[in-house]
C-alpha cells in the first residue's frame, strides 16, 4: 500500500496481483487506487477522482508487510 498526497487530497493505492484500472507506478511496482473516503460519485477500485487526474502527487508513505 502507498499513500498518495495531492495538494488538497490524500488517497491510497494497493498492490494487487493484477492492477485494476490505470496503475500508479512506484519503485517498479504497479498499484491500484482505492479511494478510502466517501465521495459524491461512486468510485470503483482503480478509479481516481476526475479532479485529480492531471494533478501531481507525492508518495508520502509506503507499507510492505513483513516477509514480502
pLDDT tens track for 6-22? 999 999 999 999 999 99
Report helix, strand or coil for 2: strand
Q: What average pLDDT does the chain have? A: 93
Cα–Cα distance for residue pair 8/31, rounded to 1 Å: 21
Do the beta carbons of residue 30 and residue 23 sit within 8 Å? Answer: yes
CB atoms within 10 A of CB 4: 20
The model's confidence at residue 67, banded by pLDDT at 50, 70 and 90, is low
pTM over 0.85: yes
Cα–Cα distance for residue pair 66/46, rounded to 1 Å: 25
pLDDT tens track for 7-66? 999 999 999 999 999 999 999 999 999 999 888 888 999 999 999 999 999 999 999 887
Amino acid at each position: 500500500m502507498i499513500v498518495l498526497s495531492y495538494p488538497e487530497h490524500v488517497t491510497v493505492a494497493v498492490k494487487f496481483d493484477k492492477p485494476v484500472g490505470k496503475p500508479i507506478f512506484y519503485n517498479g511496482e504497479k498499484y491500484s487506487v482505492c479511494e478510502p473516503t466517501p465521495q459524491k460519485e461512486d468510485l470503483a477500485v482503480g478509479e481516481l477522482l476526475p479532479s485529480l487526474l492531471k494533478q501531481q502527487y507525492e508518495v508520502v508513505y509506503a507499507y510492505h508487510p513483513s516477509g514480502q
